[in-house]
Structures are given as C-alpha cells and as structure tokens.
Structure 1
C-alpha cells in the first residue's frame, strides 16, 4: 500500500446516545472527541441509532395495524369512485 493516501484505520468507541451502549470497533471515521476506556484513550463517535436501540433489531415495534378500519376506508373510497354502495 502507498504511504499517505489511506485514511487512518483505528479502534473507535461508538456510543448509542439513546441508551448509552458503548462498543469498540475499527473505523476511519473522523472525530473531535475522545473517551478513556480500559486505561486507553479512543476516539469517540456518538450515534443516534444502533442495533441496540433500533426497533427492527430490538423487536420493540409498537405499531398496531388497524386493518379493519383500513379495509372499510378502502371500500368506501372504491364505492364512491364507481358509484356502487359497499
């Protein structure tokens, strides 16, 4: 590899700001903040959403589908468009 053309690939601490979960992984992300963990200083990157807080990964999807109401609404709309009663 040529010297001086590749980004600095190093250990970085990512923090999920919604729940405070921290994890260390290697990255080239540029940061201004640092954090001290296990006696070492690491660059710090704050994330809004990670797999620890995203509803898809946590299974905490709080959406309740009102299928009956949606079907009735569709039938009313279809009846209006065609002139038929549902």
Structure 2
C-alpha cells in the first residue's frame, strides 16, 4: 500500500446526546473535540442526536400508525360531504 494516501483509521467515541450513552468504534471521521475515557485514553468525540439506545424503533416505544385512534377515518368522516380526501 502507498504511504500517505489512506485516512487515519482509529478508535473514536460516539455519544448519544439524548441519554448520554457512549460507545467506542473505529472510524476515519475527523473531530475537534476529544473525550477522556475511563481507561485513560483520549479519543475523538462525535455527538449524535439519537442512537440505537434512544431511537423509538429499537427501544420498542414507536407508535404504529394503525394504533393512533383512526385518524384517517376521522378525517374522512369529517370531510366526506366536501369531497376532500376521496379518490376520484
């Protein structure tokens, strides 16, 4: 392999801002921020809005569209006489 053309592949720390969950993986992303880990290592820090620890799909708190109280049916019933929301 040629020297100097490959990105720096190293350990980085990702932090979920919604719950503080941290995980370390390898990446080539660049970051200006760093974090000191419990084992003494200082790693680049990447902040995430959501991760598998906080995303509703993975936590089981996602609501199904079918369980929202029949909103589509309520809309159709409310506007049935106006011809809104009906197929022609």
TM-score of the superposed pair, with normalisation by structure 2 = 0.76
What displacement does 1:62 show? 4.8
Q: How many residues align?
A: 81
What displacement does 1:72 show? 3.9
What displacement does 1:61 show? 2.0
Gaps of 5+ in 1: 82-86
Instruction: Tell me the residue number matched to 2:75.
Output: 73
Instruction: Tell me the residue number matched to 2:44.
Output: 43
Instruction: Tell me the residue number matched to 1:84.
Output: none
TM-score of the superposed pair, with normalisation by structure 1 = 0.78
What displacement does 1:10 show? 0.3
What displacement does 1:70 show? 2.1
| Structure (1 or 2) with the larger CA radius of gyration | 1
For the pair 1:29 / 2:29, whether they are aligned, the reply is yes
